[in-house]
Chains A and B, each alone.
Chain A
Amino acid sequence: MAKTVEEVADLMFNMVKDAQGQKKLKPMDLTKAMIEQYGDEVDKKLCKAAIKQLINSGRCVYTYFGGSYVELPHREGAAND
């Protein structure tokens, strides 16, 4: 059965949380992982919508370190007060 946007967003959020501080994940890494794990239950469009929801809700943010990644909101090392 096809997954909902909310379900995929939760699954992606867990991936980002588990990887935080260890590996930076690109949006395409999240999409590929979902398709690999859940096959026909997800597709690229659904994954795109899930990432949009994660970012719009503020649970995750985009970051840029040479390339763009999806991470949990945090204070970056370079930031001054």
Chain B
Amino acid sequence: MAETTYKTPLLDELEKGAWPSFVKEIKMAAKRSPMANDLLGQLEHSYKEKIGHWKHGGIVGVMGYGGGVIGRYSDMPAEFPGISHFHTMRINQPAGWFYTSESLRQLCDIWERHGSGLTNMHGSTGDIVFLGTRTEELEPTFEELAKIDFDIGGSGSDLRTPSCCNGMARCEWACYDTMQACYQLTQDFQDELHRPAFPYKFKFKFSGCPNDCVASIARADMSFIGTWRDDIQMDQAEVKKYADDGLDIQRDVVDRCPSKCMAWDGKELSIENSFCVKCMHCINVMPKALRPGKDRGCTILIGSKAPIVEGAQLSSVLVPFMKMEPPYDDLKDLIERIWDIWAEEGKNRERVGEFIQRVGLGNFLEAIEVEPIPEMVAHPRENPYVFYEEYYEEDEGEEEEAEA
């Protein structure tokens, strides 16, 4: 039972309105957890003073692992003894975030026994986040998690917990089995996940189609986005039904196609598929009439990151199309070649996207033994800074011949 009841007029403001409130949840937890109760006290104090009162720890963790625990201490332990230690644990979520109610109850019970009981389902990393525990509770929590087949996720300079959309489990647009790929790579790269050996963090995110529901293009060092390389499947009768039901196909579909590769004559829709950039717009608007093609796989992109040491970056294409089938050997080979060069040559806290910018895409591709191709270049037909060595050499040869 909590000892002190804190007055929290500023936090109370955040309970008003129709939306869910983290304050309401912490108050509920505070009825059972002195840790959650002192969290309310410190938070109100911080809101009043407009100063944070956390210190970051860098050494706490579980035996053998270098990631998954983020150390945190209150800088007012005398006033708020319950949160003198308040470490966060990241727990590797199941692929696609599927749980049974039983496993959710087990997770919550473990956390009520060993921590504040407060969770964040899920953190922006994708992990289950357990908020607030003491150093001596880390190992017992880890042991109990292992008994129900859960493991700690990544943090620090390691492979972060891979995450994926729920793909083929629920979504008709999935062009490959995101959950299987995510699970398999998580299993195969356990060392990289738990034993930080990189210059900085490295994230995989798997989206089943270009709708990119896990925002991998913006948030993963390596993004796996489902795609197809044949023609969009089309049902003209369904297209007509959309038109009859009042959809303005010209305005809402054709005119919005980014590559202007569609035409609508009032009766038939046509697509010049060789120009389609697989943006999904037309398919999203007319899901009954259009579907991704049948020859499916994924596009691999590299280099995105949020602004930390340097500014934000989006991923760009590395492999335009790869079949995604277990055991993913080609993919794992490629990943290991990337990690090899980046781990060896990357500067401390340099993400792989920043590394590529520093050493140059050409040098990077040479090191990982990947041929440069036009798909790697933004606007290849308009970019004056791109040239191809073999054409260049050929031209020179021709000139020499002409002179001779």
Contacts and interface: CB of A to CB of B under 8 A. Distances in A.
Interface of A: 26-28, 32, 48, 51-52, 55-56, 58, 61-68, 71, 73-74, 76, 78-81
Contacts of A80: 73-74, 77, 84-85
A68 B64 contact: no
B157 A67 contact: yes
B139 to A, nearest CB: 12
Contacts of A73: 59
A32 B349 CA distance: 17
Contacts of B155: 64
B343 to A, nearest CB: 6
B27 interface: no
A78 to B, nearest CB: 4
Interface string B51-89: 000011111010111110011011001000000110000
8 contacts: A26-B157, A27-B196, A58-B63, A63-B59, A67-B157, A78-B58, A79-B59, A80-B85
B61 A62 contact: yes
A76 B197 contact: no
B133 to A, nearest CB: 13
A51 B195 contact: yes
Contacts of A79: 57, 59, 73, 135
Contacts, number: 83
B204 interface: no
B354 interface: no
Interface residues of B, number: 34
Interface string B148-167: 00000001111000000000
Given A27-B197, A55-B64, A68-B196, A76 B158 contact: no
Contacts of B58: 63-65, 76, 78
A79 B196 CA distance: 22
Interface in B323-377: 343-344, 348-349
Interface of B: 55-59, 61, 63-67, 70-71, 73-74, 77, 84-85, 135, 155-158, 191, 195-200, 343-344, 348-349
Contacts of A68: 66-67, 156-158, 196
A5 to B, nearest CB: 15
A78 B84 contact: no
A76 B73 CA distance: 11
B84 A28 contact: no
A51 B61 contact: no
B349 A61 contact: no
A56 B64 CA distance: 5
Contact of A78 (B61, B71, B199): B71
A56 B74 CA distance: 30
B157 A81 contact: no
Give me the 8 closest cross-chain CB pairs, A-B, nearest first: A62-B66, A68-B196, A68-B157, A68-B156, A78-B55, A80-B84, A64-B58, A64-B156
